[in-house]
Amino acid sequence: MDVNPARRSAMTLYSDPRDHYSHRVRLVLAEKGIAVDVVDVNPSRLPQRVADVNPDNTVPTLVDRELALYQSTVIMEYLDERFPHPPLLPVYPVARAHSRLLMYRIETDWSPHLNVLASGRGGARALQKAHVALRESVVASAPAFGEKPYFLNDEFTLVDCCVAPILWRLEHVDIDLPERQTRPLARYMQKIFARQSFRDSLTELEVEMRD
């Protein structure tokens, strides 16, 4: 990652190089140019250090000196508050609450289905159900991506950091989008995927997902 020396920090991020939750945290780090030691781990064989600081024994886990954080949105908001430039949440309380609500909707409407598809577990019926649900939800949301330069906002925000890693993985989980119905979304994806911070946030395994 490109790093601003003025922002150097003794941080370690334990990250799954395939997982969209870890990806969203890496995207925030890249957007803000935060110096961090990213440790790629296998979620089925996590290092003891993760279990020592995270009772859930999950990734992403961020260790910042004596502080350990887990759960991706908690980490993202901490980073945004600790490194306030550029800000990734709106200044005003109503707008901030709206952004948090959008992140919650992504967590409930998109993430669980992608988790099923990415894991490949649960049987054919569960996989098909997740595939249909995620595809229909993304297609239904497509017009909203044309309303403002970023997802329902004039500026790049934490909401985009949650949305973009999911959209990056659609092709990998065999979700095709109807061209006519999703043109605003296609333009959004092209813009976000070309963003330098997004490119910097990708692991080699993630790059391969769309090669």
What are the tens digits of pLDDT across the range 40-87? 999 999 999 999 999 999 999 999 999 999 999 999 999 999 999 999
Which residues on neighbouring strands pair with residue 70, listed in sequence order? 61
Q: How far apart are CA 4 and CA 168, in angstroms?
A: 27
Residues 69 and 158 in one domain: no
Burial tier of 147 (Cβ tally within 10 Å: 0-12, 13-18, 19+) = exposed
Q: Please check whether residue 21 lies inside any domain of the structure.
A: yes
> Chain-wide mean pLDDT for the chain?
94
Q: What pLDDT score was predicted for residue 152?
A: 95
Domain coverage including residue 49: 5-82
Residues 106 and 191 in one domain: yes
Question: Domain total for the chain?
Answer: 2
Look at residue 186 and tell me whether its pLDDT is greater than 50.
Answer: yes
Q: Please check whether residue 204 lies inside any domain of the structure.
A: no
Q: How far apart are CA 34 and CA 22, in angstroms?
A: 15
Look at residue 8 and tell me whether its pLDDT is greater than 60.
Answer: no
Residues 184 and 113 in one domain: yes
Look at residue 2 and tell me whether its pLDDT is greater than 60.
Answer: no
Q: How far apart are CA 189 and CA 204, in angstroms?
A: 19
Last residue within a domain, chosen from 82, 116, 145: 82
Strands 67-70 and 37-40, bridge-based pairing: unpaired
User: What CATH number should be reported for the domain holding residue 113?
Assistant: 1.20.1050.10
The DSSP call for residue 135 is H
Token pair of 190, please? Answer: 């092209």
Q: How far apart are CA 103 and CA 109, in angstroms?
A: 10
For the beta carbon of residue 128, count every other beta carbon within 10 angstroms: 12
More confident residue, 210 or 122: 210
Look at residue 111 and tell me whether its pLDDT is greater than 50.
Answer: yes
Q: Please check whether residue 116 lies inside any domain of the structure.
A: yes
Residues 117 and 187 in one domain: yes
Residues 117 and 158 in one domain: yes
Residues 187 and 127 in one domain: yes
Look at residue 6 and tell me whether its pLDDT is greater than 80.
Answer: no
